[in-house]
Chains A and B, each alone.
Chain A
Amino acid sequence: MNLAIKDIRHGLFRFVLTCLGLGLLMTVVLAMIGIYNGLVADALAVVKAPAADVWVVEAGTQGPFAEASSIPATTRDAVARMPGVAEAGAITYQTIEASHAGKTLRLYVIGFEPGRPGGPQRIAEGRGLGRSHFELVADRKTGLVPGETIRLGRDRFTVVGLVEDAMNSGGDPAVYVTLADTMTLQTTMDPAAARVQAARGDGGLRAPTVAAVIARLEPGADVALLTATVRQWKHLSALSQGEQEQLLLASVVDRARRQIGLFLGILLSVSAVMIALIIYTMTMEKLKQIATLKLIGAPDRTIVGLIVQQALILGISGLGIGLALILLVKDSFPRRVLLEPFNALVLTGIILIVCLVASGLGVRAALKVDPATALGG
């Protein structure tokens, strides 16, 4: 006879409500884990998207994500000719706001040269850029659909394809356009502003610039040698893919990551205290019954089993409800909530340990109760 199950079934409504409460708490914990993962994944997505081996950026900067970087567009040709480089592409990043369907969209515009590194790796819907101007591939979270048009700067672009999970570390969804179009976007000013500039005598031509040049290396090529060679050019610096990712995590998202991490720690502590309190209270309410069980001869293992099993059922049910809820609502969050099976596994481990430790308090109280309590005075 399983006393734990019998007791739960006896007070099923109350137990379910308790599990639901714990489940909601677990939902918040899982949401925070998901947001934390999403933040890191989003930040890295934009760096990983071009599948580069080396990033060539402006000297003295940690661009193009941690700091602004501007190098001559012709750098791409110089890098492409270096020994060990299989292919190179120039790339620009720019955040702009655009109006669409009565709403203001904040977009992360990535300019690349079609046919060269820097474009989207996988098109989820539609096609990639086919023309050299006025087409764009957008992240699905922009809300844009293939065939739609949107005005960026002074030109109107047609959406030809959609990608997924392409955004910057701030969560702004990305749109891919040709490098030529982004250069126009960067340099084409409002006519009134252009007239003011011209009146000041600042109407001269400037050499086009890009944020970075990315290079993919031939198999067996030495990344360190290439970056060292690039750094010999006084106006350029080079970072390996690993360095770029580390730089992004350490500088751009580090504070937000630590903030969420700390909040997650507090949430887990609160959850642990809540679980401990619930289990302890559940046990204290049963002290007379436990005394009766002891009096009629129940061994300690029966009493410990009753408390520990209920604690584990409570914890696992709460976690299950939390998981179900977060999977149901995660796509409604404005930013990506990314949950890995590993996270659920670790949280399950933590909850099991918390339940066992918390039930220890209840077990201690139960084992101390005098069987004579059942007899009364």
Chain B
Amino acid sequence: MVPGDILVDVRGVAKHYGEGETRVDALRSVDLRVHVGEVIALLGPSGSGKTTLLNVIGCILAPTAGRVELDGDAVFDGKWLRSDLRRLRLDKIGFIFQAHNLLPFLTAEENVSVVLDLAGWPSEKGRERARELLDYLEVGYRAKVKPALLSGGEAQRVAIARALANRPRIILADEPTAALDSGRAQLVMDLLRKLASEQKACIIAVTHDEKIFDRFDRLIHLRDGRLVDS
């Protein structure tokens, strides 16, 4: 690995809630580097700080201290260094949710192309890209269907297509396989690995699903807000 390969660089990141006796340290001096093509898992018991770390990397939550660099850009160093965090998320980060969180009023294709619409793509090009991704994820035949009529696996593949639509280099996934059976979970993880490799992206997933641990390059354990090993 060369330094330019680092997509996520988290150094000395801490996050606490409250003060005095009510103070809770969600993250304590966390250091984490994730490289191009890497697929890593954040593991740990409930309250260990996994989601907090995911939110910090996703620029949703400001850390109390530390420095965060995404795809070579410093985004946090004691304070946010960019004011347009949503634009940053739109351009650099793709999110995959446990409950896929597709917008119920849009079709599968529109759920994917909405990201491109927000990114300023011409609508026809956006629709083309959405169809291309859905076909690639073998769910193109459901492009005109609304999420309520999709199966769990289909919905999750549409959600992955949405996360990848704007070609982000950092993909954050929160329990991406929780709603899937074992076979489908393996398939989704294989797919994510393939996409990470093809798009020169990295994937950071919070998971409790032991059946897919072998699909990750690294397992990062968190306990009481600290990285235990990696």
Contact = CB atoms under 8 A, between A and B. Distances in A.
B1 interface: no
Given A9-B105, A298-B118, A376-B97, 16 more contacts: A1-B110, A1-B114, A3-B103, A3-B105, A6-B106, A10-B104, A10-B146, A288-B101, A292-B103, A296-B162, A297-B118, A299-B118, A302-B118, A371-B60, A375-B174, A376-B51
Contacts of A344: none
B212 to A, nearest CB: 19
Nearest to A289: B103
A125 B118 CA distance: 65
A7 B118 contact: no
Interface stretch (B29-37, B85-93, B192-200, B218-226): B85-93
A297 B104 contact: no
Interface string B54-76: 11001011000000000000000
A7 to B, nearest CB: 4
A302 B119 CA distance: 12
A374 B114 contact: no
Nearest to B126: A1
Contacts of B58: 295, 375
Contacts of A374: 95, 97, 101
Given A299-B118, A376-B97, A294 B86 contact: yes
Interface string A344-377: 0000000000000000000000000011101111
Given A6-B110, A375-B95, A293 B119 contact: no
Nearest to B127: A1
Nearest to B175: A376
A375 B117 contact: no
B186 interface: no
Contacts of B113: 1
A6 B105 contact: yes
Interface centre among A289, A292, A295 (most CB of B within 10 A): A295
Nearest to A10: B105
Nearest to A295: B95
B115 A297 contact: yes
B124 to A, nearest CB: 12
A293 B115 CA distance: 9
A11 interface: yes
Contacts of A375: 51, 54-55, 58, 60, 95, 97, 174
Contact of A297 (B98, B119, B123): B119
Contact of B89 (A7, A297, A370, A377): A297
A369 B97 CA distance: 17
B115 A372 contact: no
Contact of B90 (A6, A292, A296, A370): A296
B99 interface: yes
A297 B105 contact: no
Nearest to B146: A10
Contacts of A293: 103
A377 B174 CA distance: 9
B101 A292 contact: yes
A51 to B, nearest CB: 61
A296 B91 CA distance: 9
Nearest to A7: B105
A372 B51 CA distance: 9
Contacts of B174: 375-376
B90 A297 contact: yes
A150 B146 CA distance: 70
Nearest to A296: B115
Nearest to A294: B86
A289 B147 CA distance: 13
A321 B101 CA distance: 35
Contacts of B90: 296-297
Interface in A261-284: none
A348 to B, nearest CB: 28
Contacts of B117: 1
A370 B101 CA distance: 15
A171 B106 CA distance: 55
Contacts of B51: 372, 375-377
The 7 closest A-B pairs by CB, nearest first: A297-B90, A10-B105, A7-B105, A292-B101, A297-B89, A372-B60, A297-B86
A371 B51 CA distance: 13
Contacts of B98: 376
A234 B168 CA distance: 97
B105 A11 contact: yes
A295 B60 contact: yes
Given A1-B117, A1-B123, A299-B118, A376 B103 contact: no
16 contacts: A9-B105, A10-B104, A289-B101, A292-B101, A294-B86, A295-B95, A296-B90, A296-B95, A296-B115, A296-B162, A297-B87, A297-B119, A299-B87, A372-B60, A374-B101, A375-B60
Contacts of A372: 51, 55, 60-61
Contacts of B162: 296
A296 B102 CA distance: 11
Interface in B162-209: 162, 174
A3 B101 CA distance: 16
A9 B119 CA distance: 24
Interface in B107-140: 110, 113-115, 117-119, 123
